[in-house]
C-alpha cells in the first residue's frame, strides 16, 4: 500500500508542477462580444445607418457578426476585415490607413494578408491593457461614422 501511494505521488508530482506553469491569457467572452456588437448596431441605427458589425478574437477568429436589416451585402465582409485588421495590428484602421498614406514605403502592408481591410471603422478591443480582439463596423456613409459606432460598442463593455 505504501509503495502504491509513493508511486502515485511520484507520478503525479510532475503533472502538478507542469500544470502550474501553463501560461494564461485574457480573452473576450462571447457574451461581451455580443453586447458590444449590439451596442454598435444600435448606435448606427439611432443615426439612421444600417450597418454590419463584426467582432473577432485576438487570434482573428470571428466571435460574432450582426447585420442590421437592410444593410448592404458588402457590409459583412467590410466589418469582418476591419475587425480582423484591428485585432491583427493592434491599432485602429483609420490610423493605419493614415500611417500607410503618409509612408508609401509601408504600402506593402495592404497586401500582407488578403483579410486586411485598411479603412476607418475598425478598433482594437483592449481590456485591462490586454489586446483581446477587434471590432469592425461597415455600412455607414463614412468610416468616421463606422468608427463612432464601433466606439459605442467598446464603451458598453468597458473596453479601452
Q: How far is CA 64 from CA 16, 33, 36, 82, in A?
A: 36, 7, 10, 13
Query: What pLDDT score does 21 carry?
Result: 81
pTM: 0.86
Report the 3 state secondary structure along 35-77.
Answer: HHHHHHHHHHHHCCCCCEEEEEECCCCEEEEEECCCCCCCHHH
- Cell numbers standing for residue 83: 475587425
Q: What are phi and psi of 63, to 5 degrees?
A: -95, -45
State the maximum Cα–Cα separation within the chain, in Å, rounded to a whole number. 76
φ/ψ bin of 139: left (φ > 0), alpha (ψ from -120 to 50), beta (otherwise): left
Query: What pLDDT score does 22 carry?
Result: 87
SS3 25: coil
Query: What pLDDT score does 32 carry?
Result: 98
Return per-residue pLDDT of the chain as tens, 160 residues.
Answer: 566 555 555 555 555 555 578 889 999 999 999 999 999 999 999 999 999 999 999 999 999 999 999 999 999 999 999 999 999 999 999 999 999 999 989 999 989 999 999 999 999 999 999 999 999 999 999 999 999 999 999 999 999 9
Q: Domain residues of the chain, as ranges?
A: 30-156
Domain 30-156 = CATH 3.30.450.150: yes
Q: If 0-12 CB within 10 Å is exposed, 13-18 middle and 19+ buried, where does residue 9 land?
A: exposed
Q: What is the DSSP-derived secondary structure letter of residue 132?
A: E
Query: What pLDDT score does 18 carry?
Result: 57
Amino acid at each position: 500500500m505504501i509503495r502504491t501511494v509513493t508511486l502515485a505521488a511520484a507520478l503525479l508530482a510532475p503533472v502538478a508542477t507542469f500544470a502550474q506553469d501553463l501560461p494564461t491569457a485574457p480573452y473576450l467572452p462571447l457574451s461581451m462580444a455580443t453586447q458590444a456588437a449590439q451596442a454598435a448596431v444600435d448606435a448606427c441605427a439611432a443615426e439612421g445607418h444600417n450597418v454590419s458589425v463584426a467582432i473577432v478574437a485576438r487570434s482573428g477568429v470571428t466571435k460574432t457578426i450582426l447585420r442590421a436589416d437592410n444593410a448592404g451585402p458588402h457590409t459583412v465582409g467590410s466589418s469582418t476585415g476591419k475587425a480582423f485588421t484591428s485585432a491583427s495590428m493592434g491599432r485602429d484602421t483609420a490610423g493605419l490607413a493614415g500611417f500607410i498614406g503618409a509612408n508609401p514605403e509601408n504600402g506593402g502592408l495592404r497586401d500582407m494578408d488578403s483579410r486586411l481591410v485598411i479603412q476607418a471603422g475598425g478598433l482594437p478591443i483592449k481590456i485591462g491593457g490586454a489586446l483581446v480582439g477587434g471590432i469592425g463596423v461597415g455600412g455607414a456613409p463614412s468610416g468616421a461614422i463606422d468608427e463612432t459606432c464601433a466606439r459605442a460598442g467598446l464603451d458598453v463593455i468597458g473596453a479601452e
